[in-house]
Amino acid sequence: MTHDLTTASDMMIGGQSVASQARFGVVNPATGKVFAEAPDCSREQLDMAMNAAEKAAASWRADENARRVAIRQAADTLLADQQDLAAVLSAEQGKPFKAACYEVAETARWMKAATDLELPRTVVQDDATAYADIRHRPLGVVAAITPWNFPLLLAGWKLGPALLAGNTVVLKPSPFTPLSTLRLGELLASVLPPGVVNVVSGGDELGAWMTSHPAVRKISFTGSVPTGKAVAAAAAPDLKRITLELGGNDAAIVLDDADPAAVERGLFWGAFINNGQICAGIKRIYVPEKLHDGIVEALAQRARSVRVGAGTEEGVQLGPIQNRPQFERVQGLVKEALAGGARAAAGGKAMDRPGYFFEPTILTGAAEGTRIVDEEQFGPAVPVIPYRDVDDAIERANNTKYGLSGSVWSPDIERAAEVASRLHSGTGFVNDHLALGPHLPFGGTKWSGVGVENGSWGLEEFTELQVIYRSRK
């Protein structure tokens, strides 16, 4: 590895590396100690980034094929830097180095997938009266704001389609994980025209400045429900377009004909991948009463066998929780459930070592009315809840303000698909969870979001329609 992890990249504004006067510390979650500093963008520097994005827009929107080629090159540049980029990501986010490498590769794959999409020109009238076609035009400057769980991948989900559609971007990572995105900005600037992608870093207030900035015509936001609502409110006075990818409280429903041994692996990793810090991960597992004990035991066995450690340790499967507030929240939710009568079939407490490590936790005896069931825990602890019949399970799965995804598990695929179609969520999986792909529109119902990302549906959210009507009268 050649990249010095303690030397953060500068911001990328108009194709130039830009340092800041103020800087803030970045914590390694495996130690709890600050290991690097990142630039704290000033208001004037944000204006510079917005100006650069506006200036770059005219030529960037002119040539769709040139954009396609440039985005592919940008993705290849990330792949060429995979090891270094993954080292930075793993150090700041906490995820195992191998998982970080995978995230870099997926970011590139997603960006390339966007370039396989077409912006259709549709003829809607061709008769004696008129010839009318519909075009997709770019919106202008996109403010892209990301969370700390998948800093690169979620940036890639936005960059590919936003750029292909002809927009320019100002991207801001979470203050907990700014470093990999800053480096991404540096890499992209080596192949994209100046100002097409600008990367700024700073605290939450920088996000608020972005969403109220007059240059921005579209906000693509991934993060929590409360922030999502603040973003929607900030967008309203200027009628900025928004896509909001927010939190989830996904239910997995195991049907009564399922074999615990056949489903436990998928259920476990559907809940624990990225240490449970994933919007569309399993947050509640509903099982028929007769299968309850078997499934709990199988999940607990797997939880006990998982190797937890620093992302740099060989063979580690799960890292620490990403930041102290989240660590304290997960700890609090589990403590509260245990105090209320729940039992930890595996785990149940923080690990006795520095950093934000928490034992992979399987809870039983926690029902609705307990915060770990009702709220999004976003961490390595999942409740297993018995249900009476399928109607009962569906009602309880849907009894939430969230609606990102859900899953149904059974050897009878069509029966499971029928049950999945009754979930009030953006996606209903059968015998899988988190099977996301660049071709599958991803988004939530209710408080889980507004709009979708991915596929042609996600691409279209970075455009506005224009009708060109030619009279033949």
Residue range at the interface with ligand NAD (CB under 6 A); choices 58-66, 183-191, 245-253, 308-316: 245-253
Say whether residue 174 binds ligand NAD (CB under 6 A). Answer: yes
**Residue closer to ligand NAD (CB basis): 257 or 328:** 328
Binding segment toward ligand NAD, per CB under 6 A, in 13-21, 46-54, 147-155, 360-368? 147-155
DSSP-H helix ranges across 273-360: 292-305, 324-339
| Closest listed residue to residue 45, CA positions, set 27, 26, 74, 23 | 23
- What gap in Å lies between CA 404 and CA 466, rounded to an integer? 31
Report the nearest approach of ligand NAD to the CB of residue 265 (Å).
23
Partners of 22 in the beta sheet? none
> What is the four-CA torsion angle of 88, 79, 100, 301, rounded to 10 degrees?
-160
Active site residues: 245, 279
Structure-block tokens of residue 236: 């309203």
Contact 219, 241 (CB under 8 A): yes
Instruction: Considering the complex, state which of residue 378 and residue 387 has its C-beta at the smaller distance from ligand NAD.
Output: 378
With binding defined as CB under 6 A, does residue 364 bind ligand NAD?
no
Q: In the window 380-419, what residues touch ligand NAD (CB under 6 A)?
A: 404
Of residues 278 and 408, the one with the C-beta less far from ligand NAD: 278
Answer for which of 81, 103, 376, 461 binds ligand NAD (CB under 6 A) is 376
| Position among 138, 160, 207, 360 found at the interface with ligand NAD (CB under 6 A) | 207
Helix (H), strand (E), coil (C) string for 82-103: HHHHHHHHHHHHCCCHHHHHHH
Number of residues that bind ligand NAD (CB under 6 A): 28
- Map residues 248-267 to x or -, x wherever contact with ligand NAD holds by CB under 6 A: x-------------------
Q: Which is closer to ligand NAD, CB of 149 or CB of 180?
A: 149
Q: Which of 185, 223, 319, 403 binds ligand NAD (CB under 6 A)?
A: 223
Nearest to 220 by CA among 304, 160, 302: 160
Maximum CA extent, the chain: 81
**Residue matched to tokens 């930075």:** 88
Is 145 a binding residue for ligand NAD by CB under 6 A? The answer is yes
d(CA 236, CA 241): 9
**Token pair listed for 461:** 């959210």
Nearest position to ligand NAD, beta carbon: 207
Q: Which helix (H) or strand (E) holds 75?
A: helix 64-80
Q: Which residues bind to ligand NAD, rule: CB under 6 A? A: 145-149, 154, 172, 174-175, 204, 207-208, 211, 222-224, 227, 230-231, 245-248, 279, 376, 378, 404, 449
